[in-house]
Amino acid sequence: MSKLTELTRQLERLHINNMYKNDFYWTWDKTDEELAAVFTVADALRDLRERNKSTRVFDSGLGISIFRDNSTRTRFSFASACNLLGLEEQVLDEKVSQIAHGETVRETANMVSFMAEVIGIRDDMFIGEGHKYQKTFMDALEEGYRDGILEQRPTLVNLQCDVDHPTQCMADILHVIHHYGGVENLKGKKLAMTWAYSPSYGKPLSVPQGVIGLFTRFGMDVTLAHPEGYEVMPEIEEIARKNAAATGGSFRKCNSMQEAFADADIVYPKSWAPFAAMEERTTLYQAGDKAGIDALEQRLLAQNATHKDWACTEEMMKLTKDGKALYLHCLPADISGLSCEMGEVDSSVFDRYRVPLYKQASFKPYIIAAMIFLARVKDPVRTLMALDASDAQRKRF
């Protein structure tokens, strides 16, 4: 049996009708079977491309990307996913659009979406604002479709908001699934999602929140570790607790990186800003208080500097299971002695894991493509089989 045939048979057994013409906001909005479908389609699309098969399911249409924060991997992953499926990406740069002249979200949403199949939005900088912006944008498109302005309503893919980073975290766990030889092998694996020192300020909470909100769905023993004062959103912690209780895993918190790393199978040391501080920054931003924002930044940088011992060092890695835990990072990492004087991870640790880190990142274009595919293709099984049976090949020179 070919790999594609096996994957389509897996997909055929899943109940995923609700994914068609639907959006992807947060992983915890999706059922276990819907998440499994994304993984399965991502693997199927990758298999087709590796065999030089065309995966163009669209012969026209746009994928609109809106990045309200800097991005490299996610930006190019979205562009790659659109291209893989036959869509043309169009970047909406707010600085050179009429948004800079006061155009409303409702107007912008409708004006850019006449021939759009998917909207990818990254808005992660301000607590309470990122998801709200995505929802406002899509509500405007729903209204435009209902009023006959749009021929179709595009699908949203959350490319990161203030709450979750679903494309990143699903790429992370698909990497882990492949590393351990199947999703059934994740149960009981110990994951340390830990804060790590960074000389920069204001990193979003959406990665640690997305990780604890997703990895706890696979029966894993997940530990969230951070210094006191670096809490994440309490409602996401509650989601993690409920997931762990439902799957036979565990979720716990501690204030010791060493404790979290002890006997861990997987470590994910990553800096983030305190939830309370991010709330304060949002308030200052809304008030236009630049001096207040600058003062907050200096205060948080000084606070970070008191926790320089929270770093993924060679000594820390020796505490993990057999000293060989799988190291994860969403990248770019703050690498001690390379990108900064002191940071999240020692350069020797990062160099040792460079290849698996790049492999981890390579799953993201396929995850995004799978999200788009499942939202826009009515019969995903038949479509994948048709792509496999077709003589159409991806042009390669």
CATH number of the domain encompassing residue 106: 3.40.50.1370
Residue 206 has what pLDDT? Answer: 97
- What average pLDDT does this structure show over 362-389? 98
Same domain, 187 and 261: yes
At 311-342, the pLDDT tens digits run 999 999 999 999 999 999 999 999 999 999 99
Same domain, 87 and 36: yes
At 11-67, the pLDDT tens digits run 999 999 999 999 999 999 999 999 999 999 999 999 999 999 999 999 999 999 999
Mean pLDDT, the chain, rounded, equals 95
Give the structural domain span for 309.
168-361
Residues contacting 195, CB < 8 A, separation 6+: 208, 225, 226, 227, 230, 257, 269, 270, 271, 272, 307, 310
φ/ψ (deg, to 5) at 263: 65, 20
Residue pointed to by tokens 């693997």: 43
At 170-188, the pLDDT tens digits run 999 999 999 999 999 999 9
> How many structural domains comprise the chain?
2
Residue 396 has what pLDDT? Answer: 60
Residue 115 has what pLDDT? Answer: 95
What share of the chain in percent tops pLDDT 70? 97
Same domain, 355 and 372: no
Same domain, 330 and 381: no
Least confident of 54-63, 367-376, 387-396: 387-396
pLDDT at 259 over 90: yes
Same domain, 149 and 224: no
Residue 70 has what pLDDT? Answer: 86
pLDDT at 94 over 90: no
Question: 11: closest CA among 47, 62, 50?
Answer: 47
